[in-house]
């Protein structure tokens, strides 16, 4: 089967019932082939760019194509163009339908979720509905943040509860599609993450990368359920604090007199967040009412700050050394990004090993990560608004 015009084929997808095959080419042509007869059924064109992405809806009555110019185009099963719009400024790289329908309200018809990703570092969620009675509708729903470089691949889990994406920033992010929060950020790949796939009937995820490896991940169902809770997700950064981190925090809050008591009782970040008025008095035996009240007030402020900030800060914006939002990120020779001052301090103490891998650093040269810094500044601007 030869693509009309003889242009290189960039993408192809079977319909859910395997009766049709859609193929898209570098010149923008899209073809529906009859699988049984191996003959061309219908042919169309997009306005600009190469076709690089394609996905059929689960019921097979429409399919979506994505172009290198960023256009998302929706076609019905007769190859009629139902809709086309600019979805990603710098080009689309991948798109995928969830196999499970959702409702956008009690009186609304059922929609299918569509995910698209692109060179603009974004993952977008759309609601798509089409029937011969009610007609067609495509609604932009939300943008999922987290990546700081072009996103090359995305895929829904079989039950539609999770969405995974892989990026040029070497990370894999798994989102909860209901709460639209980040469940996991995986950073084991050392080069671009180019492909990912959920297993259809077991809790496995595969990711492939330019580092020439395929990684297999297994989910623990109980952990996933816990990760779906926004309250658990809100606490993740402070809960990682060591006893030493808590001591530093106490000093910064003017509570230096409590450092010895907290150390004696092995108070780490997790314990700190759970302290109450009663535990300060009865368990830690802090006798001074004024000191006890001040400590409780500072802990309450910390809880509020964690809830307002931590749930939104993408993991890759956090320095692995300081566990704080980076202001001046740099890339070390291990491929990871760190806060400049923290990494320079790490190296100055004659630690020639990577903070992330514990392997010897090939070089101590630090390169400014301007792309990440711009992404952090954009996030800060949005957060402040």
pLDDT value of position 339? 94
Give 131's pLDDT tier (boundaries 50, 70, 90): low
Per-residue confidence (pLDDT) for residue 145, from 0 to 100: 85
- Which residues, at least 6 apart from 297, have a Cβ–Cβ distance to it below 8 Å? none
Positive or negative, the CA dihedral 308, 314, 319, 325 is negative
- Compute the average pLDDT of residues 50-64: 92
Q: Report percent pLDDT > 70 for the chain.
A: 88
The pLDDT of 93-99, averaged and rounded, is: 94
**Is 0.85 surpassed by the pTM of this model?**
no
Asked if 336 contacts 187 with a C-beta cutoff of 8 angstroms, the reply is yes
Reported as a single tens digit per residue, the pLDDT across 166-182 is 999 999 999 988 778 88
Structural domain boundaries in the chain: 9-226, 238-310, 315-384
Reply yes or no on whether the pLDDT at 217 is more than 70: yes
Q: What is the pLDDT of residue 377?
A: 86
**pLDDT greater than 80 at residue 130:** no
CATH assignment of 238-310? Answer: 1.10.150.50
pLDDT for residue 154: 97
- What gap in Å lies between CA 336 and CA 178, rounded to an integer? 30
Q: In which band, very low, low, confident or very high, does the pLDDT at 243 lie, cut at 50, 70 and 90?
A: confident
Q: Selecting from 1.10.10.10, 3.40.605.10, 3.30.40.10, 3.30.9.10, what CATH number does the domain 315-384 have?
A: 3.30.40.10
Better-scored residue on pLDDT, 232 or 382:
382
CB 350 within 8 A of CB 373: no
State the CB neighbour count (10 A cutoff) for residue 367.
Answer: 12
In CATH terms, the superfamily for domain 9-226 is: YVTN repeat-like/Quinoprotein amine dehydrogenase (2.130.10.10)
Answer yes or no: are the C-beta atoms of 208 and 218 closer than 8 Å. Answer: no
Predicted local confidence at residue 383, as pLDDT:
64
């Amino acid at each position: 089967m030869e693509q009309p015009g003889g242009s290189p084929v960039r993408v192809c997808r079977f319909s859910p019932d395997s009766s049709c095959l859609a193929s898209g080419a570098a010149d923008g042509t899209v073809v529906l082939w009859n699988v049984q007869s191996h003959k061309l059924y219908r042919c169309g064109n997009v306005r600009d760019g190469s076709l690089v992405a394609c996905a059929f809806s689960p019921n097979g009555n429409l399919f979506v194509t994505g172009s290198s110019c960023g256009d998302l185009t929706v076609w019905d099963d007769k190859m009629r163009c139902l809709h086309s719009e600019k979805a990603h400024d710098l080009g689309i790289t991948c798109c995928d339908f969830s196999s499970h329908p959702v409702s956008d309200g009690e009186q609304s018809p059922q929609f299918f979720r569509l995910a698209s990703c692109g060179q603009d570092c974004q993952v977008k969620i759309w609601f798509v509905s089409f029937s011969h009675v009610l007609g067609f509708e495509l609604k932009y729903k939300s943008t999922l943040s987290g990546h700081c470089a072009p996103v090359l691949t995305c895929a829904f889990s079989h039950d539609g509860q999770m969405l995974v994406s892989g990026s040029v920033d070497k990370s894999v992010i798994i989102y909860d599609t209901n709460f639209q929060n980040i469940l996991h950020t995986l950073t084991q790949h050392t080069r671009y993450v180019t492909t990912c796939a959920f297993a259809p009937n077991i809790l496995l995820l595969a990711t492939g990368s330019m580092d020439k490896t395929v990684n297999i991940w297994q989910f623990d169902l109980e952990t996933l359920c816990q990760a779906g809770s926004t309250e658990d997700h809100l606490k993740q950064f402070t809960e990682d604090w060591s006893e030493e981190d808590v001591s530093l925090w106490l000093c910064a809050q003017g509570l230096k007199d409590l450092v010895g008591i907290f150390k004696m009782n092995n108070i780490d970040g997790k314990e700190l967040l759970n302290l109450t008025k009663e535990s300060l008095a009865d368990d830690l035996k802090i006798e001074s009412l004024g000191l006890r009240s001040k400590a409780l007030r500072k802990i309450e402020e910390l809880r509020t700050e964690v809830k307002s900030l931590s749930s939104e800060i993408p993991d890759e914006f956090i320095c692995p050394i300081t566990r704080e939002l980076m202001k001046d990120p740099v890339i070390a020779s291990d491929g990871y990004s760190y806060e400049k001052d923290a990494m320079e301090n790490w190296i100055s103490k004659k630690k020639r090993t990577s903070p992330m891998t514990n392997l010897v650093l090939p070089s101590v040269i630090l390169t400014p990560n301007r792309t990440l810094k711009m992404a952090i500044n954009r996030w800060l601007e949005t957060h402040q608004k």
